[in-house]
Structure 1
Amino acid sequence: MIERWSRDQVLALAPDAPSRAAASAVAAPGMWTSPGVAGGVLFGACRGSGPAPYRACVDLGEPAYRCSCPSRKSPCKHALGLLLLWSAGHVPEAAALPRWASEWPSQGADARTAADPAALPGGGPVLVPEGAGSKAAASDRRAGAGAARHARVAAGMAELERWLADQVRQGLAAAGEHEWEGMAKRLVDAQAPGVAGVVSRLARVRSEDGWPGRLLEEYALLNLLAVAYRRRAALPPELAETVLMRAGFPVTREAVLARPAVRDRWDVLGLRDETQDRLTARRVWLRGRRTGRPALVLSFAPPGQPLDASLVTGTTIDADLAFYPGAAPLRALVATRRPPGGEGGTGRVPPGVSPDEAMGEVAAALAADPWTDSWPLMLAGVVPGASSVGGFPLRRVTRACRRLLAVSGGRPVTVAAEWTPYGLNLLTTWDDDGMAVIL
């Protein structure tokens, strides 16, 4: 069961002060029709100025938001108001999601498209009948909603291609933050949130050293994604899946857990926390001892909410991991975790690879998924330098580098690091006793 968030934690997700005020105004129980929570998803219909209510959903696991209102803000005041209602204890547990809410996570389509008019909130949760006729009707609705969203995304991607061509033609020096913000908003309207997120972060690239080359790289990758989306029917199925996810089409937790799992003893190499869109994201890197397969487990929490701490750096877990689909599968969910056996616990240095083999891993990942921006490496027998490890440059020289030099003492060590196109982020090393030292 997901722990209920506090009011302050909910309001910390608001994009601006007016959204916080508006959310508080719509958080009254009388504004909502049949709100509920089931399967980690909040749902409800909020009375608005028009004849039809605004239907809002919040997936508490990611979290992710969807609302039928025309607001460009994410989360909008209705999603925030629904969260405030839940945090105050005014949203009851439901036996099942309404049909419109259950279809949203699997399709990623907005409520205006995905909802069946016969299942509008007001009569409580609607259980979809098991008869063949109802299944066929649901399939037809999904197909229609999916086609409608693809049409919107295709239009947004076509505009992105034209915009990128104009940016290059005008010159990189003419690029302005307002142009990136405008393009990002249009991509959100086109239901391509993944691409919109990349465009919105271009202002950060502009503020860094060597920004002209980096900005051109980002433009090239965006253009490649737009072209790949347009030609996705001709792509291998795994690469087409990658393109859809990069564009922003979600894959539900249930769909991932339904995929074949990979059992192994997984070494927890390290973790890194970062703030993304007013949420704290925790990236935990793992590597299988038998398969040598890398994995990334992501978790999210609003400000002040504790993050998942079940995967401890330096330990080994016996678990089944279910991987998200794609050409270079990396993100995974822990499907089943078993009690530690004889090889669990701490005190053993995980097996690593040489720098040449590590570079081969990165090259293979980029060949499969050109938009790969991070990959875990286990470098064995490397002597760290002042600004590089095993020939890989460091992204930035920090206290972690100095700590690594101190542990090494000029001797070869095993180092876990996160590869990025701009250098390594150091994670963990192991001392002479085989104990993990977090960098």
Structure 2
Amino acid sequence: MPPPWSTEQVLSLSPDASSTAAARKLATPVPWGSTGATDAAVWGLCAGSGKSPYVTVVDLTGPAYSCSCPSRKFPCKHALALLVLWSQGQVAAAVEPAEFARTWLAGRAARAARPATSAAAEPVDEAAAARRVTARADRVAAGVADLQRWLRDQVTHGLAGADRAGYRHFEPVAGRLVDAQAPGLADTVRTLPAAAASGEGWPARLLEELALLHLLTTAHARLDELPDGLAAVVRRRIGFPTRAADVLATPAHRDTWAVLSVHDSSQDRLSVRRVHLHGTTSARDVAVVSFAAAGQPLDASLMAGTTLDADVHTYPGDPFRALVGQRHGEPARLTAPPAGVTLRDAARRWADALTADPWAAAIPVVLGPALVGVDGHGAFWVQDDTGRLPVPLGVQPWTALAVAGGRPVVLAVDYGAAGATPRAVLAGEELVAL
């Protein structure tokens, strides 16, 4: 049986802090019985407040979870606790799953093998579809024109007071863009209050963000004149969806991909997961970004500290964002940190990224060996022989500083205009997520 995941990898699957805390309390052998594990699944019965124990099964190949508890979180605290026990070597290996686990696993396999009913078999009204595309394009164009007028007003009347106005100055504009079916522009407008309230020098930062918005609206007006890759970027930034099928139709980049970091955040009413993949042969870095509605589980098929032999497909016009296509085997444990690049080389990659997408916020990069430090004013930095780069304001990577211990380390970072945000530290065979 392959080595179990580390406890840190297990807890990275947790949907929230309360689930993590509850799972830690349950991760003792006392409430558990009938536990076992194979190379594909872990199972067990957990005593609860009722007469019957909770039946918990985890399909490791997903991962996917089943538990008879009433929780609507995925994974629930019982699944997490069971995996923590397994990661600590407290679940015995078994030849075959228990009957209750085998039944659930067989049902999953049957559903996976069942041919999907294809909507493509139904007749498509191409004329109606064309009308919908045209109608949306018209609404977006009207929304973009409205945004251009608002941008001119900001410059004409000045930015005074924007730092005190909060969201009420920007939310009506974002709302109109949502109505115009331009959600990408709406999301960008909703980030403006952060620039307006970010301390000394905020007018310059806000003006820079407004200028980038103006550049995007101008590019939209000239879509037909742009190269295909840049036009695809503009459409995506405006908010036109990019179909997964179109991404997976691009050329595949097969490699053994190291999963270096998994970072979760929230965006409007969505949960966002950003996964940093590093090609161990190609030294290529890409980010896989997934979304889930509030309260719904995010994709957990990529786990930090593992490697995966797979095809990766990049988005049209964006060589740093990707989807995972065909997988050519099961994940394995990451046993050696990848080689990092210098800060000078990272700056070149950032320049290339901005050439492809002038509105890029950050790209995944592996830096190092590099030092992590903090000055007397509480400002963090990353440094190597080629230069020094700040860590963005508000980011405090104390864990990275502690793990490094004054030694050069390899860092998985999000590299952007404001500096480098550490997401994981790789010291020897140890990967520490931040």
The two structures share one fold, judged by TM-score above 0.5: yes
Matching residue within 177, 189, 207 for 1:199: 189
Matching residue within 379, 388, 410 for 2:381: 388
For residue 321 of structure 1, what is the aligned residue in structure 2? 312
Distance in 1 separating the partners of 2:416 and 2:366: 14
Alignment partner of 1:145 is 2:136: no
After TM superposition, list the pairs within 5 Å mapping 1:321-360 onto structure 2.
321-326=312-317, 328-340=318-330, 344-360=332-348
- Measure how far apart 1:287 and its partner are: 1.7
Distance in 2 separating the partners of 1:329 and 1:223: 24
For residue 157 of structure 2, what is the aligned residue in structure 1? 170
- Measure how far apart 1:205 and its partner are: 2.6
Matching residue within 411, 424, 436 for 2:431: 436
Q: Which residue type is aligned with residue 245 of structure 2?
A: E
TM-score (norm 1): 0.65
After TM superposition, list the pairs within 5 Å mapping 1:30-429 onto structure 2.
95-97=117-119, 127-128=122-123, 138=126, 140-175=127-162, 176=165, 177-209=167-199, 210-326=201-317, 328-340=318-330, 344-386=332-374, 387-390=380-383, 391-396=388-393, 400=397, 402-429=398-425
C-alpha contact (below 8 Å) 1:270/1:284 kept by paired residues = yes
Residue 370 of structure 1: SS of its match in structure 2? coil
Residue 331 of structure 1: SS of its match in structure 2? strand
Distance in 2 separating the partners of 1:398 and 1:162: 35
Distance in 1 separating the partners of 2:367 and 2:249: 33
C-alpha contact (below 8 Å) 1:396/1:423 kept by paired residues = no
- Measure how far apart 1:231 and its partner are: 0.9
User: Judging changes above 3 Å, is the alpha-carbon distance between structure 1 residues 428 and 204 closer, same or farther for their aligned structure 2 residues?
Assistant: same
Distance in 2 separating the partners of 1:259 and 1:303: 31
- Measure how far apart 1:407 and its partner are: 2.6
Task: Give a deviation string over 1:236-266, Cα, whole Å, max 9, x none.
Answer: 1100010011001101222222322211111
C-alpha contact (below 8 Å) 1:378/1:417 kept by paired residues = yes
Task: Give a deviation string over 1:213-232, Cα, whole Å, max 9, x none.
Answer: 22111100100000000011
Task: Flag as ranges the 4+ runs of structure 1 deviating above 6 A.
Answer: none
Please give the root-mean-square deviation of Cα atoms over the aligned residues, in Å: 2.3
TM-score (norm 2): 0.66
Larger mean CA deviation between 331-340 and 159-168 belongs to 331-340
Distance in 2 separating the partners of 1:398 and 1:186: 32
Task: Give a deviation string over 1:256-308, Cα, whole Å, max 9, x none.
Answer: 22322211111112121111222221111112122222211122334443332
Give unmatched runs, 5+ long, in structure 2: 1-114, 375-379
Task: Give a deviation string over 1:288-330, Cα, whole Å, max 9, x none.
Answer: 122222211122334443332222222221111122212x332
User: Judging changes above 3 Å, is the alpha-carbon distance between structure 1 residues 414 and 241 closer, same or farther for their aligned structure 2 residues?
Assistant: same
- Measure how far apart 1:395 and its partner are: 1.4
- Measure how far apart 1:144 and its partner are: 3.5
- Measure how far apart 1:399 and its partner are: 5.4
C-alpha contact (below 8 Å) 1:205/1:211 kept by paired residues = yes
For residue 17 of structure 1, what is the aligned residue in structure 2? none
Distance in 1 separating the partners of 2:118 and 2:155: 50
Q: Which residue type is aligned with residue 423 of structure 2?
A: L
- Measure how far apart 1:340 and its partner are: 4.9
Distance in 2 separating the partners of 1:376 and 1:418: 5
Larger mean CA deviation between 362-371 and 298-307 belongs to 298-307
Distance in 2 separating the partners of 1:296 and 1:403: 22
C-alpha contact (below 8 Å) 2:233/2:357 kept by paired residues = yes
Q: Which residue type is aligned with residue 122 of structure 2?
A: L
C-alpha contact (below 8 Å) 1:347/1:436 kept by paired residues = no
Larger mean CA deviation between 417-426 and 142-151 belongs to 142-151
Task: Give a deviation string over 1:328-369, Cα, whole Å, max 9, x none.
Answer: 33222211122259xx52220112111100110011101221
Residue 222 of structure 1: SS of its match in structure 2? helix
User: Judging changes above 3 Å, is the alpha-carbon distance between structure 1 residues 95 and 414 closer, same or farther for their aligned structure 2 residues?
Assistant: closer
Q: Which residue type is aligned with residue 389 of structure 1?
A: V
Give unmatched runs, 5+ long, in structure 1: 1-92, 103-125, 129-133
Q: Which residue type is aligned with residue 216 of structure 1?
A: L
Q: Which residue type is aligned with residue 376 of structure 1?
A: P
Higher strand share: 2
- Measure how far apart 1:397 and its partner are: 6.3
Residue 333 of structure 2: SS of its match in structure 1? coil
Q: Which residue type is aligned with residue 147 of structure 1?
A: T
Distance in 2 separating the partners of 1:303 and 1:141: 32
User: Judging changes above 3 Å, is the alpha-carbon distance between structure 1 residues 411 and 174 closer, same or farther for their aligned structure 2 residues?
Assistant: closer
- Measure how far apart 1:174 and its partner are: 4.3
C-alpha contact (below 8 Å) 1:238/1:325 kept by paired residues = yes
The share of aligned pairs that are identical, in percent, is 44
C-alpha contact (below 8 Å) 2:395/2:421 kept by paired residues = no
